[in-house]
A and B are shown apart, each in its own frame.
Chain A
């Protein structure tokens, strides 16, 4: 996917360079990447409406409830933003290695270990002022996440192990290690029926963004998406990554340090996921326990693919999925539909967006023209 888009970009640039300038190509190119997902979403909505009609439920009711539950009021919007925030970071854990053509699906492991590292370190430095504690927690979360996913990158680069399988299996190992430590060495003896680590203390918690109910994880996630967009599309490091993803042999012939790029991209993704775990601990739970393995790492895979591995694309897609989950509750309550209904909708959206991939570059109107 990356390779196709990169090649297309290069040919387009080349073509534009030789022929008369196609002045509006950049605009049509952006329109293409906005309209195709939109059409896919509409197709998914249409298919889902049919599904609802088969169940004897009104699609109009459903979509108006989704609107109300996800975006229709200040409360709903904050609910949506809140649910989107951990997904921004876990999606980056998929999108960054994806630039090199890697499919890393084990972000969940980095999330739980990052959260554990943050929760483990906080009591040791509780004498420091809260802001320092938070920074150290964030560094610990990032570091362990980077180490965990970076290790997967290393296995890929040095031993050619399949990163998809390895990352998934490593996620299981991470969760097992996490459970062992939370229920063993680091267990707070007071947590009888729900084994947890010690509390990080209320004053060290992250609080809310001013004027809202949303924790700062949202802001951190948005900044991270913008930062990595710039890194990938505006720096030579990002270009090197995309070249490697586009054509490994070419990258090697150019003398690019491919192995390092793989390890670094994986480590950066892992750092994001680890940070997501730290934020869950520091903004929500106040300690590490089994609730940390809530599937954010896996939901991130979905978002990253929907965003076509573009860090900026992650923003609207996380918002969309966050909104659908936020509204899922009210749909259950008002329409008497099971929770799985929302999963069906998510599945349809996922398939429609993936299928729409094939449309890129096939619609002549969007393509570069000889003359404007």
Chain B
């Protein structure tokens, strides 16, 4: 633990600010008293909520999805929102969290990038035990990690399955493409879901996957999309931090595209079919409301379509009625809960059995978090 040699002047400044607010509020409440009203909430200090993004807030992707969720808090009474973008997953993020706490008085923090958690969020949470940290991705474990930290995540694979259905309806070449960052479980889940969704429409359809190797590699993402188009792919989707390049390249090449993370319809007015989007507003509002009421926010939350953690982009003009109907029907089925995308009999693309006829894994199944295969019909290999 670090020991401060001298008390930072900022503390006294904050105290002063508080005193000033107190005087103002005391004055205000005196007036209110005079009017026979004592609004309790007027005494409560504003809740400062800090959001930290690894990339720009307007990346049409991962970070924009979070920033849109954060924006939903702007209108809430008693909430002060502070945001910082392009914070790398190094000591920088620890310093940003501490700065939000020390200089801005934040008490609820959402460091949104996956790589922020270990060691950065864990370390800062250990240091500031009164501050609540909630991290996107699902890494928090009871007993192992600090109690004032936690995780939230959404089952977006379901939406990629629906993307796959829409894609299969418009594809003529019966060859779909997927631009992926890294062969890690969360990405594999999306690739497999997309292919399985498409297969549910046409069993012969295939998905060609290209891994770019990193989360944000615009040049490689463009190259990957172009080479997919050149190899006969006519619908493409992706899992990278910013799908902008993939979507724009697809539109320029005149093929269809399904979005990911946020709504990219604006970037491809002709070819955008639909998209798998996060709906973080649900999660952030829930956490903020609990914090405002003084309740401890839950440590671990997850949800899918039914919980409104994820959503689909509105259909683009190219999606035929048959596709809309099927997507809506499957979506309604998913909303009931218990829908399993990975269900037997199922083989991986090397011929190994993943699930026998009587096996199925619902979205919340723990086995899916260790996914290390590509299903039959996906063309591509893991490292």
Contact = CB atoms under 8 A, between A and B. Distances in A.
Contacts of A82: 91, 95
Contacts of B100: 329, 333
Interface string B1-34: 0111111111000000000000000000000000
A285 interface: yes
B369 to A, nearest CB: 7
Given A184-B383, A333-B104, A339-B86, A192 B119 contact: no
Contacts of A194: 114-115, 118, 184
Given A179-B213, A192-B370, A211 B185 contact: no
A193 B371 CA distance: 10
Residue among A68, A69, A285, A333 with max Cβ neighbours from chain B (10 Å):
A333
Contact of A75 (B85, B102, B139): B102
B218 interface: no
Contact of B88 (A69, A74, A294, A330): A294
B147 to A, nearest CB: 19
A290 B104 contact: no
A183 interface: yes
A211 B5 contact: yes
A278 B369 CA distance: 31
B6 A74 contact: yes
A194 B186 CA distance: 10
B182 interface: yes
B214 to A, nearest CB: 7
A173 to B, nearest CB: 13
Contacts of B89: 291, 294
A286 interface: yes
B319 interface: no
B223 interface: no
Given A74-B6, A193-B137, A332 B85 contact: yes
Given A211-B3, A329-B96, A333-B104, A195 B182 contact: yes
Interface string A59-74: 0000000001100111
Contacts of B104: 330, 333
Contact of A74 (B4, B83, B184, B369): B4
Interface string B270-290: 000000000000000000000
B95 A284 contact: no
B307 interface: no
Interface residue SS majority, chain A: helix
Interface in B224-254: none
B83 A333 contact: yes
Contacts of A72: 9-10
Given A69-B103, A72-B9, A291-B88, A208 B214 contact: no
B70 to A, nearest CB: 12
B84 interface: yes
B90 A280 contact: yes
Contact of A183 (B8, B87, B182, B185): B182
A181 to B, nearest CB: 11
B185 A284 contact: no
Contacts of B186: 193
Q: For A193, A195, A326, A329, which residue has the most chain B Cβ atoms within 10 angstroms? A: A329
Nearest to A285: B119
B131 interface: no
B379 interface: no
A75 B10 contact: yes
Interface in B53-92: 56, 82-92
B119 A286 contact: yes
Given A83-B92, A338-B56, 11 more contacts: A74-B6, A74-B8, A75-B103, A79-B99, A83-B91, A193-B137, A284-B119, A291-B89, A291-B115, A329-B99, A339-B85
Interface of B: 2-10, 56, 82-92, 95-96, 98-100, 102-104, 114-115, 118-119, 137, 139, 182, 184-186, 213-214, 369-370, 383
18 contacts: A69-B99, A73-B9, A74-B4, A75-B99, A76-B99, A79-B98, A193-B185, A194-B184, A195-B182, A290-B214, A291-B90, A294-B89, A295-B88, A325-B92, A329-B87, A329-B96, A329-B99, A330-B103
